[in-house]
Amino acid sequence: MSRHSSDPACIFCKIVAGEIPSSKLLETDDAIAFLDINPVNHGHLLVIPKGHAANLAELSDDQAAHVGSLLPRLSRAVRAATGADGFNVVVNSGRVAGQTVDHCHFHIIPRRDGDPVHWPWPHTPYQGDELARVKSRIEAELRRGCAVNRPCVPISHKNPCLPPCIASRRVATSRARSRHPMVDMGSRARASDRR
Ligand code: 5GP
Ligand code: ZN
């Protein structure tokens, strides 16, 4: 039996299990990359964790780190193989963001000058104190919990909130702590508390 979690209704879990065919390009113990069946441009591929996770927010730190580690290599191969001028890496999460398959996947889409793909996102500058308010709301959420689906202890000097991949390996050295963005944020929060 596979050690990866699986959803019997999920088409990408079926691809992982080999129950439906795919044009597989790369396989590791925990991830696969394969061509998108209905590409934006030729060479458009998908990289997925083998374990079922509905979207990016549901990925464990280890899954994200592993899938992320494959992106540069795959992007270089796609760019070279297609003669692309560049590429987009896209992760749609949720219907509103265009996700149609509920197993987290990273698109690598090769791009050429003059191709028919458009990226027409409207940008609107913040007004007044909107930026500061949005920033503090997100910071509060980050302080509340540093891992999805896992309550997190409050950040303090004695008990810094480390991601599970670091904590489980028992390598929570001061170097690891100082690298973790949540700890940096904790330090900043404490500094601002003192003001
Ligand atoms: P989303 O819209 O969820 O971000 O992207 C889903 C992608 O999966 C689409 O680009 C779609 O073409 C691709 N896709 C859907 N079903 C299959 C399939 O059975 N095999 C492959 N290779 N790609 C698929
Ligand atoms: Zn799945």
Per-residue pLDDT of the chain (195 residues; tens, 9 = 90+): 678 999 999 999 999 999 999 999 999 999 999 999 999 999 999 999 999 999 999 999 999 999 999 999 999 999 999 999 999 999 999 999 999 999 999 999 999 999 989 877 899 999 999 999 999 999 999 888 755 555 443 333 333 344 443 334 333 333 433 333 333 333 333 333 333
* Residues across the chain: 195
Of the candidates 47, 42, 56, which has an alpha carbon nearest to the alpha carbon of residue 89?
Answer: 47
Query: Which phi and psi angles does 171 have, rounded to 5°?
Result: -115, 40
Contacts of 115 (CB under 8 A, 6+ apart): 41
Give the pLDDT confidence score for residue 156 in this predicted structure.
Answer: 38
Residue with tokens 């949005």: 134
Estimate to the nearest angstrom the gap between the alpha carbon of 76 and the chain centroid. 19
In this prediction the pTM is: 0.77
| Biggest CA pair distance of the chain | 60
Q: How far is the CA of 166 from the centre of ligand 1 (A)?
A: 33
Identify the CATH class of 11-111: alpha beta
Q: How far is the CA of 12 from the centre of ligand 2 (A)?
A: 5
Contacts of 28 (CB under 8 A, 6+ apart): 66, 70
Distance in angstroms (rounded) separating the CA atoms of residues 24 and 22:
6
Give the pLDDT confidence score for residue 149 in this predicted structure.
Answer: 52
Domain assignments of the chain as residue spans, ordered by start:
11-111, 130-194
Those residues whose beta carbon sits under 5 angstroms from the ion ligand 2 are 7, 10, 12-13, 52, 103
Residue 38 in contact with ligand 1 by CB distance below 6 A = yes
Contact 146, 115 (CB under 8 A): no
Give the pLDDT confidence score for residue 41 in this predicted structure.
Answer: 97
Ligand 1 pocket, mutate which of 36, 93, 107 (most atoms under 8 A from CB): 36
Residue 22 in contact with ligand 1 by CB distance below 6 A = yes
Q: How far is the CA of 74 from the centre of ligand 1 (A)?
A: 17
